[in-house]
Chain A
């Protein structure tokens, strides 16, 4: 264990606490909210925004289910239906799943590693605004009947200038640019936070599994997202300035798009899934009343999943012209990725088996995850087979499969996470009985919706069809799926009502209502502006379970300026202090300038030229040197375990 102390002893801690709170607080009022760079404030609004998009995407899905409830239905026509499924997919992937996982990281990682803010706080604020504006742009286009209608994957040549005139596909392409800029910046922040801002003593091998998961996710974002930004930019150039990247008639290639898109698109699934694994590890440890079994295996499994997910993308393209030998490789890799996931599942089962599990709502969602994800994973193994995939690819079977994987693998753990951390974020517990209703409605509704879709796919129902004839015989199963979708909608409504009720009437949580072991529970609920009075010093995986007497802590950081402690990469030894920036309006102004450039470039290439001028000024404002506050001199004294 390592601690650091400064020479002058602090006499009045309560005065110091107040000073710290003041230093790390946002200015009051709406303006203060706009300029906030606090990870908790931004994390909360990120979570709420992403959840709002989840609800919007869900309403689109319910509309689709109503249309498909019976054959030859006339609720919506092909024009709207094609926009609906494109918007649903794009919303859930780009505006909900990745952002909400990053939002959880923004809120929780700094608390879990025991620091006072996320690294690059202004970039964090900028990321939120860019994300918000991108989402608003997409929905504005949709409500103006210019929503994209080429699928969330926007295959060329359909999405190219010849077959989709107008601006619909461009709005899709720019939404990708917006959200990926936001995602990439958050990824950088997470990596820097995890690597350099951990509390003293939290060596890499003591880091919570949640933090590991977020770290792996952040690296994956950095390697996967550029592929889709590149391809969507090429698409917009094909559409706007007449390049021919994807035009076969001019030497371009339609398959090129698919390779670029799925090189991003497959890791994307794991970018969503891996943070959920982190959430599960947190919940399982807390409710099994012991640390997760097999820490090293768990970490290696996360890393292995991250790597392997980059060599599977061709299994989305088995029906194209990929050579057989290549397909064999991707079959093997796609099946292999089940191994690290299996390792984690067996480790969790062992944890529950050898622990003393308490089945509260968060753990219920995890148990739901076990059933649904394993089923989805098994159909995933089927899809990895070239032969079998050739039947079920692009059919409702695949729709069933990836909803099992994504809702089971990410949304169930996420809801578990909401129930688990809600008390930390708001200071109040969510209602437990309502939580159980929430879970069972969701679980039953989910299986009722998506299980029949396996059968529909085998009976020949392709994806993305707005109607089907009665002669196909697909009506009954579709009706069943629609009823299930109604139950899911009801369960989400129960959740929203539960949140609204609990915010005002929920039981007061206290610092650590679940008596969990990780650092976020060491501070008040909701956490103070500065997160911790003293940066904790860590000596174990579950620091709060280990402490028998007064916990070790770190002193010596300034209370006058926003100072954080930088530690070394591997062992988290105190290294130096760094002053973090104060709240600033410039991230918002920069985001507005960038948004003008992005939206403008849908309409004219000149927007890139003229739009860069306000961006330049905003960035100059952002980086303008501030008159420095006087630095205190201070010497470090560090002590390390042998």
Chain B
């Protein structure tokens, strides 16, 4: 069976994560589901950190125990049905009161498997509690603390620092250092969302009125995808995010870059682009550090060009996609909160040039 794991690809989400079913016969699929770990950037069976790895071990334990139980019950059922099969069918005289002595002996047929069931369940319970404890014991010393705030339908990400000027705000993309624990403080300002990056850990709800914390660690670099797991309305399907685990030096370089305020545009086209941004409705909702635009209801765009995706990990962050999104995001992600922006081609090009420079 192909229990191999592919290394996660390194560049963005454009590359599909399909490796599970290619080149297999239909008959082999059921078997391979039960036996193969599928690799992918959004898979619980391709762990990239200790939390997901512990859960994966528990999963395989449960799978094999379950497979054995299912096999035994199925065989017992088939045997029971074929064993005493009657040629005379329903005409056979029913056994209205089975012999009590024989019945007492038959109680063993029930008692033994029931005993086995109880022992098995107890074992699985212990395994489950042990895993719970292991997950809870992840050390959060020296952790990177990140506030994640759920919005319909995107993720606000803030790197917590005591000095306000060092706080970094971004959206839909969480950079984390490999090997260092991460503590997420999860909140929601509207409805309930759920944070789920299966390669790294299980999920945790973002509940208005209840702050939750959630910690995990990546032990290898990679780009992992996650998405909202609690139904949150119209665009629940397109509320994704990326977790980018990178070596610590790379991560801290990124963080430093995020703290920098982008320099004002220095050529006329980009200057015009900034004017378009500030003069149109954009600035009412979006923030760009270093400009008067300080809207808080939509993603912070200070370093938008440095992100891999737009629209909550829905589209690759290319100039073409940015253009389509700005002009009519409702066609791409119907119901999202951004209004259409009928800009003239010149204005649009200038705006795109400006945004494309916000690394």
- Which A positions have Cβ atoms within 8 angstroms of B? 77-79, 82, 150-151, 155, 157-158, 163-164, 248-249, 253-255, 287, 289-291, 293-294, 297, 319-321, 324, 327-328, 331-332, 335-336, 338-339, 342-343, 345-347, 349-350, 352-360, 363, 367, 370-371, 374-375, 378-379, 381-382, 384-395, 451-452, 454-455, 458-460, 462-473, 475-477, 480, 514-515, 517, 540, 542, 545-546
**Nearest chain A residue, comparing its CB with the CB of B54:** A387
Asked if residues B231 and A385 are in contact (CB atoms below 8 Å), the reply is no
Asked if residues B106 and A293 are in contact (CB atoms below 8 Å), the reply is yes
**Residue tally, chain B, CB below 8 Å to A:** 102
Give me 20 other A-B pairs in contact (C-beta within 8 A), A374-B70, A390-B202, A462-B228 excluded: A78-B335, A82-B234, A158-B192, A289-B86, A291-B98, A319-B203, A320-B212, A327-B132, A328-B132, A353-B80, A358-B90, A359-B81, A363-B81, A391-B203, A392-B44, A455-B38, A458-B198, A471-B15, A473-B16, A476-B21
Tell me which residues across on chain B come within 8 A of A395, comparing CB atoms: 196, 229
Lowest 6 CB-CB distances: which A-B pairs, in order?
Answer: A390-B202, A248-B209, A473-B18, A460-B42, A465-B237, A385-B128
CA distance in complex: A452, B129 (Å) = 28
Which of A342, A374, A455, A460 is within 8 Å of B198, CB to CB?
Answer: A460
CA distance in complex: A466, B314 (Å) = 13
Asked if residues A290 and B98 are in contact (CB atoms below 8 Å), the reply is yes
- Which B positions have Cβ atoms within 8 angstroms of A? 13-21, 29-30, 33, 38, 40, 42-45, 52, 54-55, 58-59, 62, 66, 69-70, 73-74, 76-77, 79-81, 83-86, 89-98, 102-103, 106-107, 109-110, 113-114, 117-118, 121, 124-125, 127-129, 131-132, 135-136, 152, 190-192, 194, 196, 198, 201-205, 207-210, 212, 225-238, 314, 334-335
CA distance in complex: A88, B121 (Å) = 33
Tell me which residues across on chain B come within 8 A of A347, comparing CB atoms: 110
Tell me which residues across on chain B come within 8 A of A455, comparing CB atoms: 20, 33, 38
Asked if residues B132 and A367 are in contact (CB atoms below 8 Å), the reply is no
CA distance in complex: A248, B59 (Å) = 36
Asked if residues B40 and A460 are in contact (CB atoms below 8 Å), the reply is yes
Kindly count the residue-residue contacts between A and B in the assembled complex, taking CB atoms under 8 Å apart: 315
**Nearest chain A residue, comparing its CB with the CB of B333:** A78
CA distance in complex: A460, B225 (Å) = 9
Tell me which residues across on chain B come within 8 A of A297, comparing CB atoms: 110
Asked if residues B33 and A451 are in contact (CB atoms below 8 Å), the reply is yes
Tell me which residues across on chain A come within 8 A of B232, comparing CB atoms: 158
Tell me which residues across on chain B come within 8 A of A469, comparing CB atoms: 314
Which of B73, B81, B98 is within 8 Å of A374, CB to CB?
Answer: B73
Asked if residues A467 and B237 are in contact (CB atoms below 8 Å), the reply is yes
Tell me which residues across on chain B come within 8 A of A367, comparing CB atoms: 77, 81
Within the complex, the shortest CB–CB distance from A271 to chain B, in Å, comes to 23
Within the complex, the shortest CB–CB distance from B99 to chain A, in Å, comes to 10
Asked if residues A386 and B132 are in contact (CB atoms below 8 Å), the reply is yes
Asked if residues B103 and A293 are in contact (CB atoms below 8 Å), the reply is yes
Within the complex, the shortest CB–CB distance from B191 to chain A, in Å, comes to 4
Asked if residues A460 and B44 are in contact (CB atoms below 8 Å), the reply is yes
**Nearest chain A residue, comparing its CB with the CB of B134:** A387
Asked if residues A357 and B196 are in contact (CB atoms below 8 Å), the reply is no
Asked if residues B96 and A546 are in contact (CB atoms below 8 Å), the reply is yes
Tell me which residues across on chain A come within 8 A of B52, comparing CB atoms: 391
CA distance in complex: A239, B194 (Å) = 24
CA distance in complex: A384, B44 (Å) = 17
CA distance in complex: A467, B128 (Å) = 33
Tell me which residues across on chain A come within 8 A of B228, comparing CB atoms: 462
Within the complex, the shortest CB–CB distance from A614 to chain B, in Å, comes to 37
| Given A390-B204, A393-B203, CB of A471 within 8 Å of CB of B14 | yes
Tell me which residues across on chain A come within 8 A of B16, comparing CB atoms: 470-473
Asked if residues B192 and A155 are in contact (CB atoms below 8 Å), the reply is yes
- In the assembled complex, 6 residue pairs joining A and B whose CB atoms fall closer than 8 Å, in A order, are A158-B191, A254-B208, A324-B132, A331-B129, A387-B131, A471-B15
Asked if residues A293 and B110 are in contact (CB atoms below 8 Å), the reply is yes
Asked if residues A459 and B40 are in contact (CB atoms below 8 Å), the reply is yes
Asked if residues B70 and A331 are in contact (CB atoms below 8 Å), the reply is no
Asked if residues A394 and B203 are in contact (CB atoms below 8 Å), the reply is yes
Within the complex, the shortest CB–CB distance from B196 to chain A, in Å, comes to 7
**Nearest chain B residue, comparing its CB with the CB of A340:** B114
**Nearest chain B residue, comparing its CB with the CB of A457:** B44
Asked if residues A320 and B207 are in contact (CB atoms below 8 Å), the reply is yes
Asked if residues A345 and B118 are in contact (CB atoms below 8 Å), the reply is no
Asked if residues A356 and B85 are in contact (CB atoms below 8 Å), the reply is yes
| Given A297-B110, A359-B81, CB of A382 within 8 Å of CB of B66 | yes
| Given A370-B74, A465-B236, CB of A346 within 8 Å of CB of B132 | no
Tell me which residues across on chain A come within 8 A of B97, comparing CB atoms: 291, 540, 546
CA distance in complex: A395, B42 (Å) = 12
Asked if residues B191 and A321 are in contact (CB atoms below 8 Å), the reply is no
Asked if residues A468 and B98 are in contact (CB atoms below 8 Å), the reply is no
Tell me which residues across on chain B come within 8 A of A470, comparing CB atoms: 16
**Nearest chain A residue, comparing its CB with the CB of B73:** A374
